[in-house]
Amino acid sequence: MPSPGSSDASPPSIAVIGAGVAGCTVAALLARHRWPGSIVLWETGRGPGGRAATRRSREDQQLRLDHGAPLLNLMSGHRATAGLASTASAMPPAPPLIEELVQGGWLEPWSGARARLDVEGALHPISNDPLGEGLLYRGRDGMEHLCQGLLSLAGSAVSTRYGTLVRDLRPLPGEGWQLLDAQGRVLDQVDWLILSSTLLAHVRVQLVLAWDSVPLVEASRLLGDPRLDHALASIAALRFEGRSNLLLLVPADQARPWLELPFRLLDLDPPAQQRFHLRRISIQPLADGRCAVVVHSSATFAAEHLGVYGARSSIARVLSLPSPQEREQEVIEKLSAALEDALGAWPIAPLPPEADRQLMRWAAAFPVGAGLPEGLLLCPDSRIGFCGDYVSGPGFGRIEGAMASAHRLVEQLLPAALDRPAMVG
Ligand SMILES: Cc1cc2nc3c(=O)[nH]c(=O)nc-3n(C[C@H](O)[C@H](O)[C@H](O)COP(=O)(O)OP(=O)(O)OC[C@H]3O[C@@H](n4cnc5c(N)ncnc54)[C@H](O)[C@@H]3O)c2cc1C
C-alpha cells in the first residue's frame, strides 16, 4: 500500500538540506526510525558540521581548529554525567542522542578554565555568559565529531552530498520537491524536504549574496499553503548576528605564553565588547605543541565588516565569490590589534606571521528574534519541514536548540509522512 507520504507505491524519499547539527540529528533519527525510502543530506561545505565544524587542512594533517562553536552547552539535564545528578534532576531532559554520543566517544565533557574580561581589561574567574551555562561538552578531537558521531549513528541509511549548494527549489504540488543547482539543473527529486538552514527561506540571501529572490518564498507562491506562508513570515522576522573571526595558528616555539594564559575560553562582557570589539577568545592547544586561537568579533564589528568574508569560506568557494585581498587583510589587522589591546596584560606578543592569520566571517552566526514557532515545524500539505537553531524554544541560537528542534520535527514528520507514531529518542 502506498504510504501517505509517497506519490506512488515506492517508499517516500527525503532530502535534508544542511549537514550541520540539526540536519545530522534529523538524519540520525530518521535512520533510527527506519525511514523506508532514501535519505540524502545536501551540504555546501566539504564535510558535516556547519557552524559547529572543525577547520582542517590537507597539507597540515595536525591542524584542527574549531572556527565556529568551540563548545556545546547543555542547559537541560544530562543523566550521563556522574556527580551532577542533583543539578540535572532539576532540569528538563537533555536531547536524546547526547548520551550515546558521549558513550560512543564522539563528545567529551569540557572542563577547561573559563573567565570573563571586563571593560577595564580585568579578569574575573566567573563568566555568566549564556553560551557557557550548564554542562559543557566538546567534540573529541574537534567539534566536527559531534556531527560525525550523529552520522555514524545514522549509518548507511543516509547518503551525503558534500560540496553542493542547493541553489533553488521547485515545488511539485502534492508530490514533493525538486532541488536545483546554480545552473538550474535538477540535483534530486524527493517526496519530502527538510530545511535545516534559513538560507533558502530568508531575505538575507538577497542582502548578503545578492540573489534576486528568496527561493522558498518564490516556491510558496505556487503552493498556496497558508501554513507554509505563516512559517515563512516567522522566518522573515528573524534577524541574525554575525561574527568576524580571526584564526591564529601559533607555532610550537611561541605557544607557551598562550598556553599559560589563565583561561581556555574568555568571554568579554558587554561593555568590554564595546571597547575591544571582541566577544570571545578560544585557546585551542594542538597535539603537536602548536596552539590555535580563535578570536570572535563583537556583533557590531561583524555588522560593520559584513561584506568582507574569508576567502576560504564554503560559500565563497562554491559561488566563486571574489574576496578583495586588501580588505580582508585590513579586517585581519584590525582584529589582531583588538586582540593585543584586550590581552595587553599578558605577554602574548608577537602575533603569528600574516600567513598564519586568517579570517572566517559568519554572516548569520546567531539568530535573533522570536524564532520559528514549534507549531510550524512541519507543513504537511507542502511536504516540507524545518529544523535548526532558529526554531523557538529552549536552546534557541545554540547547538542544544538545533538538536532539540530536529527531535520535535521528526516527532511530527513520522506520523504525517508514514502514518506511524514516533517516540523519538
Ligand atoms: C562563532 C560561533 C560561536 C558559537 N558558539 C556556540 C557555543 O559556544 N555554544 C553553542 O551551543 N552554540 C554556539 N554557536 C551556535 C551553534 O554553532 C549553532 O547554534 C549550531 O551549530 C546550529 O546548527 P544548525 O544545524 O541549526 O545550523 P548550521 O550549523 O548553520 O547548519 C546548516 C548547514 O546547512 C548548510 N546549507 C545551508 N543552505 C544550504 C544549501 N542551500 N545547500 C547546501 N547546504 C546548505 C550550511 O552550509 C550549514 O552547514 C556558535 C556559532 C558561531 C558561528
What are the beta bridge partners of residue 128?
Answer: none
The CA 317 to ligand 1 mean position distance, Å, reads 18
CA 389 to ligand 1: nearest atom:
26
The CA 400 to ligand 1 mean position distance, Å, reads 11
Closest residue (by CA) to atom 10 of ligand 1? Answer: 398
The CA 101 to ligand 1 mean position distance, Å, reads 19
| 57 confidence band (pLDDT: 50, 70, 90) | confident
Taking 70 as the threshold, does the pLDDT of residue 345 lie above it?
yes
Predicted local distance difference test score (pLDDT) of residue 148:
98
Give mean pLDDT, residues 48-71. Answer: 93
The CA 308 to ligand 1 mean position distance, Å, reads 19
- CATH architecture of the domain covering 240-367: Alpha-Beta Complex (3.90)
Q: Where in the chain is the domain with CATH 3.90.660.10?
A: 240-367
Q: What pTM was estimated for this model as a whole? A: 0.93
Q: Which residues of 36-52 are buried (b: 16+ CB within 10 A; e: fewer)?
A: bbbbbbbbbbebbbbbb
Taking 50 as the threshold, does the pLDDT of residue 2 lie above it?
no
What pLDDT, in 10s, does the model give residues 372-381?
999 999 999 9
Give mean pLDDT, residues 74-88. Answer: 51
The CA 174 to ligand 1 mean position distance, Å, reads 31
Q: Which three cell numbers stand for residue 94?
A: 537533555
Mutate to test the pocket of ligand 1, among 167, 399, 408 (most ligand atoms within 8 A of CB): 399
Give mean pLDDT, residues 91-110. Answer: 85
Say how far apart CA 46 and CA 162 lie, in whole Å.
5
Taking 60 as the threshold, does the pLDDT of residue 86 lie above it?
no
CA 42 to ligand 1: nearest atom:
43
Closest residue (by CA) to atom 12 of ligand 1? Answer: 398
Closest CA to 377 of 404, 399, 359, 346: 404
Pocket of ligand 1 (CB under 6 A): 17-23, 42-45, 50-52, 68-73, 131, 165-166, 196-197, 199-200, 243, 245, 296, 314, 362, 365, 388-389, 397-400, 402
Average pLDDT over the chain, rounded to whole?
90
Mutate to test the pocket of ligand 1, among 197, 280, 360 (most ligand atoms within 8 A of CB): 197
The CA 366 to ligand 1 mean position distance, Å, reads 8
Taking 90 as the threshold, does the pLDDT of residue 352 lie above it?
no
Taking 50 as the threshold, does the pLDDT of residue 47 lie above it?
yes
What pLDDT, in 10s, does the model give residues 236-286?
999 999 999 999 999 999 999 999 999 999 999 999 999 999 999 999 999
Taking 80 as the threshold, does the pLDDT of residue 185 lie above it?
yes
Domain 1-111+131-238+369-425 has CATH 3.40.50.1980: no
Predicted local distance difference test score (pLDDT) of residue 211:
92
CA 132 to ligand 1: nearest atom:
8
Say how far apart CA 227 and CA 274 lie, in whole Å.
41
The CA 254 to ligand 1 mean position distance, Å, reads 32
Taking 90 as the threshold, does the pLDDT of residue 348 lie above it?
no
121 or 93, greater pLDDT = 121
Length of the chain: 425
Q: Where in the chain is the domain with CATH 3.50.50.60?
A: 1-111+131-238+369-425
The CA 53 to ligand 1 mean position distance, Å, reads 8
What pLDDT, in 10s, does the model give residues 194-240?
999 999 999 999 888 889 999 999 999 999 999 999 999 999 999 99
Q: What is the 3-state secondary structure (H, E, C) of the chain?
A: CCCCCCCCCCCCCEEEECCEHHHHHHHHHHHHCCCCCCEEEECCCCCCEHHHCCECCCCCCCCCECCCCCCEEECCECCCCCCCHHHHHCCCECCCCHHHHHHCCCEEECCCCEEEECCCCCEECCCCCHHHCCEEEEECCCCHHHHHHHHHHHHHHEEEECCCCCCEEEEECCCEEEEECCCCCEEEEECEEEECCCCCCCCHHHHHCCCCCCHHHHHHHHHCCHHHHHHHHHHHCCEEEEEEEEEEEECHHHCHHHHCCCCCEEEECHHHHHHHCEEEEEEEECCCCCEEEEEEECHHHHHHCCCCCCCCCHHHHHCCCCCCHHHHHHHHHHHHHHHHHHCCCCCCCCCCCHHHEEEEEEEEEEEECCCECHHHCEECCCCEEECCCCECCCCCCCHHHHHHHHHHHHHHHHHHHHCCCCCCC
The CA 66 to ligand 1 mean position distance, Å, reads 12
Closest CA to 204 of 242, 255, 251, 165: 242
Mutate to test the pocket of ligand 1, among 25, 44, 51, 407 (most ligand atoms within 8 A of CB): 51
Closest residue (by CA) to atom 49 of ligand 1? Answer: 50
**Sheet with strand 186-190: strands edge to edge:** 168-172, 176-180, 186-190
Percentage of the residues of the chain whose pLDDT score is greater than 90: 76
CB atoms within 10 A of CB 341: 13
The CA 21 to ligand 1 mean position distance, Å, reads 7
CA 24 to ligand 1: nearest atom:
25
